[in-house]
Chains A and B, each alone.
Chain A
Amino acid sequence: MSGALSGVNILGFTYAGTANFVMRVLGMHGAAVVRVESHTRPCNLRLATPFKDGKPGINRSGFYAMANNDRYSIALNLKHPKAPSVSERLIRWADVVFENFTPGTLNKIGLGYKDISTLKPDIIMISISSQGQTGPHSSVASYGPQLQALTGHVNLTGWPDRGPCQIDQSYPDFITPSYAAIAVIGALIHKRRTGKGQYIDCSNLEPSVQWVAPAILDYSANKHLMMRNGNWVPSAAPHNSYPCKEDDSWCAIAVTNDKEWASFCMVIGKPELKDDQKFTTLPARKSNEEELDRIVADWTINYTAAEVTEKMQAAGVSSGKVQSFKDIVSDKQLRHRNYFRPLEHPELGWYDAYAPSYILSRTPAELRLPAPCLGEHTEFVCRELINMSDEEFVELLTDNLFD
């Protein structure tokens, strides 16, 4: 397989999203990724909505599909007495082993770092967990929808006169995989230089808190608690989302300097506002922001969000529609970047997979394989990747190892 990471072998004892998002990045850049799954305990994402046509099925989940392109799936019953003979060969094949079970789980079945590195001393292993492998809360798991409360993001979202708002998405589950990918690739680079493998203990908490660092320092330095404040920022006005013509449709507009303010006034057909003492400078606009927001909203309400965006951007003012999923799937810029990659799947039919948000000029990512059906590649992995003989494969198959 070609690609930036071609020749790298990845093995995953993983479930849910976070660890699988990391492996996805590696797979799209050419690594060979094998995920160990089980019919007796299918990955929770295989049981998660949305299903194709609303009909549940372990190979019909759109959620599983978006996290699992570009990898192979081997069905392996890790509790079977013969499991170690296969898992050991997989570990020897692998450069990196991923796991994201509750801390300590893999140790109990002889697949902890100690065991794996005894088998293969230069292995790189990464454990991803909610809060880390050590510490008083190491077994207190949570997914992104709740972890975002712990990371400070919920507190910082919404209005000062009300309770905070949820980011209705698994937010930290999309922060951590990027840091984990950075760590894993870093370990691979380090191994090329030194020949040594190593262990990475990656929590979902520690990377996610990195993105609120200024708020942390505000408390450390000033004992000041940064709080949510709608769309207010100190350095720009107008700076808000404004109601547009269509029902519950909004456009974000940000005027960041006086030159843009002048352009803005022309666009809304009120050039006289440019020199109005109440609005002519940023401090003036900040002092009269409520009135300013009303003036803007009185204008935007006459246009669709797309029209507002076009008029403002044409004048050099930053603005953009608050896009729904319907808008996103037809967004011209995302389409231009080929963000959506149709892949054909035995049970989902053609579905959209998602390319990385960065494009490498010489060795860009390629999306080749749809999310696998459970155990779809058991034979391929055994025969082609770990060179198992026909006879042995049939023997283990008959013995119900690949379950």
Chain B
Amino acid sequence: MDAILNGYRVLDLCTGGCLVCGKILADLGADVIKIEPPGGDPTRNIGPFFGGIPHRERSLYWFAFNTNKRGMTLKIESPEGKGIFRKLVETADVVLENFDVGYLDKLGLGYDDLKAINPKVIMTSVTPFGQTGPYKDYKGADMVVWALGGLMNLCGDPDRQPVQVSLPQAYIAAGTYAAEGTMVALFERENSGLGQQIDVSAQATITWFISELIPFYNLLGQDMKRAGGAITRAGGLLCPIVYKCQDGYISYMITAGLPGAERNEKMVLWLEEEGLATDYLRQKDWVNWDWVGMTKEELEKISKPVSELFIRYKAQDLYDEAIRWGVSLFPVSTSQDIMGNAQLEARGFWTPLYHEALDTTLTYPGAFALIPETPLSVSKRAPLIGEHNQEVYVEELGLTLEEMVSLQGIGVV
């Protein structure tokens, strides 16, 4: 079956979360070659690990973000390596990288160099802050980008320090948006026949997330800070959204005024059935109330009865009941919950991939969208170190096996 990026070739020099960029292009059908330093990419040291054993061929993080890619090893810093890389660029559509600003330029492999080899090549460069500017040489650990981008300020309990998500997100975000920019450039190239460089800032990607809230600051002077298991409502009132239930937590959102009226009325009926409804809840005009003017004490008259309901039942049962009632409630899902999610199951989302070296089949998240005519396909596990060296070096680049082995011997491959 035809795939969206059939026939496109991508050279992937990325590490860490940015690897998701190449994965997305590979899942769309491009031939993505992950180029690793001899001995393997440092990302292979990131856990979790299969069986809990740190090992370069057991990194589940590596597995997650390198599906569908081929893998080769190459030391691009060596003279031979540069020559080989330049040869590969001749037939590449896209080069992905997230080296420090200027690193590839110093090697003679920057965009201007690659453009001279292949004017059609698109170079997507992810950095923490951008290719130019006052922070361009700042070191950007994922958590630091999360902080400087503005999301860390909105995560955590008020009485403790602000936090990141424990599976760091900033470079996964940057890599995803890098894929978006790459697609824009690929389309543009259809018309112009020319490539270009894409300067992706991980910080700006995170700032885009909070840009839905910056207008509160610009228009009303309202800044925000972390609110624990609550959300900040108009006027600064914190409204609980995470509630304890019998076997974990659920997310329940109270919406004011007309948009939330029907759901709030249904919740009162549910509480009534549970013997938890109060006169206040029965008599409240759910259509005509607003957060502005709402007090903490009055909010508790709504949140306390529902919390008493939730503690009685398990998250999954509450979800099923809430759907039946027409109330907006969702389980705070663990990985186990996600894998047991009836909707994802019904959508055929889960994709088994076999790992021969581990003699195990692992279950992967599948297609990010359903596109019947040109289906996305997560069909190949992440490559082993140098798994496709022979394919690339011998079958495609025309080296003899001896030449390839000799390059291995001197640490180029």
Per a CB cutoff under 8 Å, which of B4, B133, B224 touches A168? B224
Distance to closest chain B CB from A224 (angstroms): 7
A234 to B229, CA, bound (A): 25
Whether the Cβ atoms of B234 and A49 lie closer than 8 Å is yes
Assess whether A17 is in contact with B212, with CB atoms less than 8 Å apart. Answer: yes
- B152 proximal to A (CB < 8 A): yes
**Complex Cα–Cα for A206 and B373 (A):** 18
Task: Contacts A153-B165, A154-B333 known; list 12 others, CB within 8 Å.
Answer: A7-B191, A182-B179, A192-B190, A196-B373, A215-B167, A250-B152, A320-B148, A326-B217, A327-B150, A331-B207, A333-B129, A352-B214
Which interface residue of A51, A133, A147, A252 has the most chain B CB atoms within 10 A?
A252
Is A218 in contact with B335, judged by CB distance below 8 angstroms? yes
Residues A216 and B339 in contact, CB atoms below 8 Å apart = yes
Q: A337's closest neighbor in chain B, by CB? A: B130
Size bracket, chain A contacts: 35 or more
User: B61 to A189, Cβ gap below 8 A?
Assistant: no
Residues on A with C-beta less than 8 A from B85 are none
The reply to whether B180 and A25 contact each other, CB–CB distance below 8 Å, is: yes
Question: Is A201 in contact with B201, judged by CB distance below 8 angstroms?
Answer: no
Q: List 29 A-B contacts (CB under 8 A).
A: A4-B188, A44-B259, A53-B219, A134-B347, A137-B323, A158-B228, A158-B229, A190-B4, A199-B371, A209-B349, A213-B365, A216-B335, A217-B362, A227-B334, A241-B162, A251-B147, A252-B147, A252-B152, A256-B141, A318-B144, A319-B139, A322-B147, A328-B150, A332-B133, A337-B130, A351-B218, A352-B218, A357-B200, A357-B201
B246 at the interface (CB under 8 A from A): no
Nearest to B349 among chain A residues (CB) is A206
Question: In the assembled complex, how far is the CB of residue A155 from the closest CB belonging to chain B, in whole angstroms?
Answer: 5
- Provide the B122-158 mask, 1 if CB < 8 A to any CB of A, else 0: 0000000110111110111111111111111111110
Contacts of B60 in A (CB 8 A): 214, 217-218, 221
Given A179-B368, A194-B2, A331-B148, residue A168 in contact with residue B330 (CB < 8 A): no
Please list the 10 inter-chain residue pairs (A to B) with the smallest Cβ-Cβ separation, ordered nearest first.
A62-B215, A254-B141, A149-B251, A358-B181, A357-B204, A336-B133, A4-B188, A318-B139, A219-B335, A213-B64
The answer to whether A132 and B347 have CB atoms under 8 Å apart is yes
Task: Tell yes or no: B409 within 8 A of A by CB.
Answer: no
Stretch of A359-367, A376-384, A390-398 contacting B (4+ beta carbons < 8 Å): A359-367
Interface of chain B, helix or strand or loop or mixed? mixed
Q: Which residue on B lies nearest to A319, using beta carbons?
A: B144
CA gap between A215 and B28 in the complex, in Å: 23
- Tell me which residues across on chain B come within 8 A of A243, comparing CB atoms: 161
Binds A, one of B41-49, B265-273, B274-282, B395-403: B41-49
CA distance A214 to B67 in the complex (A): 12
Give the distance in Å from the alpha carbon of A253 to the alpha carbon of B147 in the complex.
Answer: 10
Asked whether B223 lies within 8 Å of A164 as measured between CB atoms, the reply is no
Contact B144 A254 (CB under 8 A): yes
